[in-house]
Structure 1
């Protein structure tokens, strides 16, 4: 697994010290996941680094596409059922200003000339995890990457206030 330095260490320490209980949700009728689960979302996502990309994939053994990764992570970390569709997940999320991004929030991109054609989970420090493309693997990218800067669309959250 790749080492992310201080970010990984900080998240690991937070996971060990942070709350692990709290209400769980079986389906979303509106984005109201307990914010205490942000660390669980990030740690679950990081555990999937280097999993193969597969269009339509939504399980580690078969590989992931971008929305399949997000769907799997939120189900595993928070027991929240999400659709396997980037645009639908964007529709369920509550808009957030980019300046207010927090770990576990979602970042959306227009990579195919249509809104919400790619997404990832924000990790902090300008980094997000995503399943980028055929032949690739789940990886960490930065919002400062020229490609993602050019295609950045919006930020959303599924966490309650």
Structure 2
């Protein structure tokens, strides 16, 4: 309340009725501003938060003789993209295993690392938190097949990742269902979607 009083004129401070009215008005304005901040959609808040973090624009990829540094998004052929879809179909149904990164069992980031590494010979980070710092952030309205999708269960940090396939569908390793295809329109995924990132560009 002392902070609000700093903005009042001497005349307003001297008049008790005027002082009370001004204090109430300013308090309502401050509460409204605070309320707007807290009710921003999760995706807007997470996009803003992760945009401010130091983002990586390069990753390691397989060159002719050794690992090379590739700019994001990595350009891939339509043929390689189709191979990625086939690989997803092949591993669909694999069980969930925390820390897993092979068809014997995947967690969410392990699946992404395996799929992109096998399809495009690129080396991605192992955790969803590190994956979330790669490339440019993409809003839900501008997602393209091959983008990564990120989710937050605590409204603060990224803790789940999947691969966007188009038409609101994505592949991921669910702790309940294992490797599966889900829809962004489903309740939990719809409300917990944070943002997407562009990792590949299909030529």
Match of 1:25 among 57, 61, 85: 61
Is residue 148 of structure 1 aligned with residue 189 of structure 2? yes
Match of 1:92 in 2: 134
User: Greater helix share, 1 or 2?
Assistant: 2
Is residue 70 of structure 1 aligned with residue 112 of structure 2? yes
Structure 1 length normalisation: TM-score? 0.76
**Which one scores higher on RCO, CA 8 angstroms, separation ≥ 6?**
1
In structure 2, how many angstroms separate the alpha carbons of the residues matched to 1:114 and 1:97? 17
Counterpart secondary structure, 1:92: coil
In structure 1, how many angstroms separate the alpha carbons of the residues matched to 2:71 and 2:154? 27
Residues 147 and 96 of structure 1, relative CA distance in 2, 3 Å threshold: same
Match of 1:54 in 2: 97
Do the aligned residues in 2 keep the contact of 1:57 with 1:68 (CA within 8 Å)?
yes
The two structures, once aligned, show a CA RMSD in angstroms of: 2.1
Match of 1:121 in 2: 163
Counterpart secondary structure, 1:91: coil
User: Greater strand share, 1 or 2?
Assistant: 2
In structure 2, how many angstroms separate the alpha carbons of the residues matched to 1:112 and 1:136? 21
Structure 2 length normalisation: TM-score? 0.61
Q: Once the 2 structures are TM-superposed, how far is the Cα of residue 111 of structure 1 from its aligned partner?
A: 2.0
Gaps in structure 1 of 5+ consecutive residues: 1-23
Match of 1:41 among 70, 81, 84: 84
In structure 1, how many angstroms separate the alpha carbons of the residues matched to 2:165 and 2:81? 10
- 1:29-63 deviation line (CA, Å, top 9, x unaligned): 542311424333333222211000000000112x0
Q: Once the 2 structures are TM-superposed, how far is the Cα of residue 160 of structure 1 from its aligned partner?
A: 4.5
Gaps in structure 2 of 5+ consecutive residues: 1-59
